[in-house]
C-alpha cells in the first residue's frame, strides 16, 4: 500500500478552505476525522453540544468528500475502534501506513500532546499548520505581548483595528473614540424589552436527525435537552444567522448588551459564538458585516464598535492569552478558592431566581449570554469561593461554544480572577444591587438584593461584602479596588461580623443545596 499523508481535522476546525485542505492531493492524502466517545465523555457534556458538534462534523465530511478527497471517518458508535484521540490516531496511522500527519494548530493543549505522542510513538513526522481562521496569529500576539508589563485588551484591540483598517477614518477611530462602552450599559424599563426579533431556525435534515437519535442513545445520562434543535450546522446556515443578526439585532446590541430579563435568553445577542468556534463562520466576515451596517447607517456606532470589540478584540485576545500563558494556566487558583461547585449549577434547583433562570436556560439551550456568565453564574462562583477548575469544567460541559482556548481565559481569568489579574485588571464583583439594576430577576425572588444580613438577605450581597473582607489584604494593592474597599471600611466591626456569620450560613446552605 502507498504511504499516505494524514490530514487530521479536529472536531472544532471545520474550515472548508483551510491551510490543511487547500492544495490537498487526492492521490496521496487522506482526511481523517473521528467522533471519539472518550472525548465526549471526559465531562458530562450537554447533549445539545454533542449533537451540534457531530452534526457539523458529518456535514463537513460530506462537503470534503464532494470536493473529491477521501475521508476516513469514525462514528461514535464504532465501538470496536479506539475511543480516545491518541489511541485512535495511532491506529489510523498504522491502518494507512502513514508517513506524516498534518493538523491545524489545536486549540487545546491536551489534544496537542495526544497528537504529538501518537506521532512520536509511530516515529512519523507531525506538521502543525497555522489555523488561518483567526484574525491574528499566535506569533503576532507573542510579539505584541513581549516586554509589556500588563496585557491590556484595549491596546491589543486598537493595534488590530489599525492593522486591519477596521472602523477607521484617516487612520483615526471613526467617531473620535476607540470605545463606546459607556453607552452600552442600559437596562430595560419596567415594561421590559417588548417584542424581540424572532430567532433564525434551521430545519433538521437526515444527517442531523440521525445525530440526534445517536446522542439520545449513547448519552442518555448527560445533561440538557435536544427538543426543538434548530442550530446552524453548516457554513451557509451560520452565514444566515449572521445576516439575520446584522439586520435585526445589531442596532440594539450595544445599548442592551449587559441587560437581563426573565424568560428572555437571547435578547439582542448574536448567538454566533458556537458557529465561530467550530469555524463555520469567518470572524473577519462578521466584523466587516457589522462595519458595513454602520457605514450604511443601518446600525449605530456604539453597537457596531461594541460587537467588533468582542470579536476582533476579546476573541483574539483570549486565544493569545491561552497559548501565551502555557499549559498550567487552567490550574491557577490565585484566591485559593476551594469550595465544591454547588449542585444547583447542574440542577437549577435554588430559590435564587437569577441562578435558576440562567441555569434553566443553559439546560435548555446550552447557552447564556455574556453578562449572565460573568455576573450571575461566574459571580456566584467567585464570591462563594468555588474551585475555579470545577467552574471551568462545568462551563466546558454545559455550553455550545466552550473550547479550552476560549473557555479557560474567560473562566479562570476574566470571571474567577484565578490567574491573579492576567486577563482582568480587577475581580468582576458586585452585590445583588447590580442584578437588580440590570434585570427584573430580583422582583421575582424571595431574597432582597439590598440586604446583606437577615433571613431574606440576598446571598450575592452577603457574599460580596464577605469576599471583600476575606481578600482585603491582597486586593488593597489594586488601585481599581479602592472605591469598593473604602465602602467596606465604612461598615463597623459589628456589621462586618454579622455579614461574616451570615456568609457562613450561605455557604453551609449552598453545600447542602438548600439555598
Nearer of residues 271 and 356 to ligand FAD, judged by Cβ = 271
* b (16+ CB within 10 A) / e for 69-96: bbbebbebeeeeebbebbebbbebbeeb
378 binds ligand FAD (CB under 6 A): yes
Among residue numbers 253 through 282, which ones bind ligand FAD (CB under 6 A)?
269-273, 276-277
Binding to ligand FAD in span 294-323, by CB under 6 A: 307, 310-311, 314-315, 318
CB within 8 A of 33, min separation 6: which ones?
A: 8, 9, 11, 57, 60, 61, 71, 72, 73, 74
CA pair distance 179, 309, nearest whole angstrom: 8
Give the contact letters, 424-463, x = binds to ligand FAD (CB under 6 A), - = no: ----------------------------------------
Q: Is 136 in the site for ligand FAD (CB under 6 A)?
A: no
C-alpha span between 146 and 56 (Å, rounded): 37
C-beta separation of 399 from 270 below 8 A: no
Are 254 and 237 within 8 A, CB to CB?
A: no
C-beta of residue 104 within 8 angstroms of C-beta of residue 129? yes
Q: Choose among ligand FAD, ligand SF4, none what residue 314 binds, the Cβ cut-off being 5 to 8 Å by kind.
A: ligand FAD
Q: Identify what 235 binds: ligand FAD, ligand SF4, none; CB under 5 to 8 Å per kind.
A: none
Tell me the three state secondary structure of residue 265: coil
Q: How far is the CB of 358 from ligand SF4 (least distance, A)?
A: 10
**Residue 278 CB partners (closer than 8 Å, separation 6+):** 11, 12, 14, 52, 53, 56
Buried b (16+ CB within 10 A) or exposed e, 285-307: ebbebbbebbeeeebbbbbbbbb
Q: Which residues pair with 172 in a beta bridge?
A: 169
The DSSP code for 200 is P
Binding site partner of 269, from ligand SF4, ligand FAD, none, Cβ cut-off 5-8 A by kind = ligand FAD
Binding flag, residue 417, ligand FAD (CB under 6 A)? no
Q: Least CB distance from residue 446 to ligand FAD, whole Å?
A: 26
| Number of separate helices (H) and strands (E) present in the chain | 24, 7
Which is nearest to 200 in space by CA: 236, 173, 164? 236
What DSSP designation does 193 have? S
402 binds ligand FAD per the rule CB under 6 A = yes
Least separation in angstroms between CB 226 and ligand FAD: 20
Q: How many residues lie near ligand FAD (CB under 6 A)?
A: 28
Q: Quote the least distance from Cβ 445 to ligand SF4, whole Å.
A: 3
449 touches, from ligand FAD, ligand SF4, none (C-beta below 5 to 8 Å by class): ligand SF4
Strand partners, 457: 448
Exposure string over 485-508, b if 16+ CB within 10 A, otherwise e = eeebeebeeeebebbeebbeebbe
**Which stretches of the chain bind ligand SF4, using CB under 6 A?**
352-354, 432, 435-436, 441-442, 445, 447, 449, 458-460
Interaction of residue 414 with ligand FAD, rule CB under 6 A: yes
Q: Which does 488 bind (CB under 5 to 8 A by kind): ligand FAD, ligand SF4, none?
A: none
Compute the least distance from the CB of residue 431 to ligand SF4, in Å.
Answer: 8
Least Å distance, CB 253 to ligand FAD, is 7
Q: Is 401 in the site for ligand FAD (CB under 6 A)?
A: yes
Q: Which of 370, 491, 500, 511 touches ligand FAD by CB under 6 A? A: 370
- Site for ligand FAD, rule CB under 6 A: 269-273, 276-277, 307, 310-311, 314-315, 318, 369-370, 373-374, 378, 395, 399, 401-402, 406-407, 410-411, 414-415
Amino acid at each position: 500500500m502507498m504511504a499516505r499523508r494524514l490530514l487530521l481535522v479536529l472536531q472544532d476546525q471545520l474550515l472548508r478552505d483551510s491551510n490543511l485542505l487547500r492544495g490537498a492531493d487526492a492521490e496521496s492524502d487522506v482526511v481523517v476525522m473521528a467522533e471519539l466517545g472518550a472525548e465526549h465523555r471526559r465531562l458530562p457534556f450537554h447533549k445539545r453540544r454533542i449533537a451540534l458538534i457531530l452534526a457539523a462534523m458529518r456535514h463537513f465530511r460530506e462537503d470534503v468528500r464532494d470536493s473529491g478527497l477521501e475521508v476516513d471517518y469514525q462514528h461514535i458508535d464504532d465501538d470496536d475502534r479506539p475511543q480516545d484521540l491518541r489511541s485512535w490516531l495511532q491506529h489510523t496511522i498504522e491502518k494507512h501506513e502513514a508517513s506524516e500527519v498534518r493538523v491545524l494548530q489545536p486549540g487545546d493543549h491536551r489534544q496537542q500532546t495526544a497528537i504529538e505522542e501518537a506521532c512520536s510513538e509511530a516515529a512519523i513526522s507531525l506538521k502543525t499548520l497555522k489555523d488561518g481562521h483567526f484574525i491574528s496569529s499566535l506569533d503576532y500576539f507573542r510579539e505584541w505581548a513581549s516586554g509589556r508589563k500588563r496585557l491590556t485588551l484595549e491596546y491589543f484591540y486598537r493595534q488590530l483595528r489599525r492593522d486591519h483598517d477596521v472602523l477607521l477614518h484617516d487612520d483615526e477611530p471613526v467617531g473620535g473614540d476607540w470605545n463606546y462602552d459607556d453607552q452600552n450599559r442600559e437596562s430595560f424599563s419596567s415594561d421590559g424589552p417588548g417584542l424581540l426579533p424572532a430567532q433564525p431556525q434551521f430545519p433538521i435534515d437526515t444527517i442531523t436527525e440521525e445525530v440526534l437519535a445517536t446522542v439520545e442513545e449513547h448519552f442518555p445520562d448527560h445533561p440538557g435537552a435536544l427538543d426543538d434543535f434548530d442550530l446552524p450546522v453548516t457554513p451557509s446556515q451560520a452565514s444566515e444567522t449572521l445576516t439575520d443578526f446584522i439586520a435585526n439585532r445589531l442596532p440594539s446590541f450595544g445599548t442592551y448588551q449587559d441587560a437581563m430579563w426573565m424568560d428572555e435568553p437571547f435578547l439582542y445577542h448574536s448567538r454566533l459564538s458556537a458557529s465561530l468556534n467550530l469555524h463555520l463562520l469567518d470572524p473577519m466576515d462578521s466584523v466587516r458585516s457589522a462595519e458595513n451596517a454602520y457605514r450604511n447607517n443601518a446600525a449605530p456606532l456604539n453597537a457596531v464598535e461594541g460587537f467588533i470589540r468582542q470579536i476582533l478584540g476579546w476573541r483574539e485576545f483570549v486565544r493569545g492569552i491561552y497559548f501565551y500563558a502555557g499549559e498550567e494556566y487552567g490550574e491557577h487558583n490565585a484566591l485559593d478558592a476551594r469550595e465544591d461547585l454547588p449542585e444547583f449549577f447542574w440542577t437549577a434547583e435554588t430559590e435564587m431566581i437569577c441562578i435558576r433562570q440562567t441555569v434553566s436556560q443553559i439546560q435548555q439551550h446550552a447557552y447564556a449570554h455574556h453578562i449572565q456568565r460573568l455576573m450571575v453564574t461566574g459571580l456566584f462562583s467567585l464570591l462563594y469561593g468555588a474551585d475555579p477548575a470545577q467552574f471551568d469544567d462545568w462551563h466546558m460541559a454545559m455550553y455550545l461554544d466552550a473550547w479550552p482556548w476560549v473557555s479557560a481565559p474567560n473562566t479562570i481569568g476574566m470571571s474567577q480572577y484565578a490567574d491573579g489579574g492576567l486577563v482582568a485588571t480587577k475581580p468582576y464583583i458586585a452585590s445583588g444591587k447590580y442584578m437588580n439594576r440590570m434585570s427584573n430577576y430580583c422582583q421575582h425572588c424571595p431574597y432582597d438584593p439590598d440586604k446583606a444580613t437577615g433571613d431574606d438577605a440576598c446571598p450575592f450581597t452577603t457574599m460580596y461584602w464577605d469576599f471583600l473582607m476575606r481578600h482585603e489584604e491582597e486586593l488593597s494593592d489594586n488601585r481599581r479596588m479602592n472605591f469598593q474597599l473604602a465602602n467596606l471600611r465604612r461598615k463597623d466591626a459589628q456589621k462586618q461580623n454579622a455579614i461574616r456569620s451570615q456568609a457562613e450560613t450561605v455557604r453551609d446552605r449552598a453545600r447542602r443545596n438548600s439555598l
